Amino acid sequence: MMKLIIAIVQEEDGPHLVRELNDAGYAVTRLATKGGFLRSGNITLLLGTDEEKVPAALKIIEENSKSRTQYVAMPASGSAMHGLVLAPIEVKIGGATVFVLDVDQFHKF
């Protein structure tokens, strides 16, 4: 059965990850996306592959999607502190969010 892998990774990891997947024989469609807590740049990768090739693709994605720590200054909310910026907070970003879906049909024209 065919599978569709949808992987959402941080923009910084995208070029190297796509190269590694291509080198392993996976055809990848790359979409620029934004989202998450910081509304930072992500990329969403779409890979169609045979079921037996899914574990190898997941391993490549995991090995090439790094978690990072970023410091973000959050503005204070509320009228008494309007305009005041609080001390930066540590936020963990990166890694990958991956979905694996069954594909009923696959056509390439």
CATH code for the domain in which residue 26 is found: 3.30.70.120
Least confident of 40-44, 73-77, 86-90, 99-103: 73-77
Task: Give a yes or no: residue 99 inside a domain.
Answer: yes
pLDDT at position 3 is 97
Produce one character per residue of 5-34: b if its CB has 16 or more CB atoms within 10 Å, e if not: bebbbbebbbeebbeebeeeebebeeeeee
What are the respective helix, strand and coil percentages of the chain, to the nearest 5? 25, 45, 30
Q: What is the pLDDT of residues 74-83, one digit of tens each?
A: 665 555 555 5
Task: Give a yes or no: residue 79 inside a domain.
Answer: no
Task: Give a yes or no: residue 88 inside a domain.
Answer: no
Please tell me the total count of domains within the chain. 1
pLDDT at position 85 is 60
Task: Give a yes or no: residue 25 inside a domain.
Answer: yes
Range of the domain at 19: 2-67+94-103
Task: Give a yes or no: residue 60 inside a domain.
Answer: yes
pLDDT at position 99 is 97
Q: What is the pLDDT of residues 16-40, one digit of tens each?
A: 999 999 999 999 999 988 765 555 6
Task: Give a yes or no: residue 109 inside a domain.
Answer: no
The model's pTM is 0.74
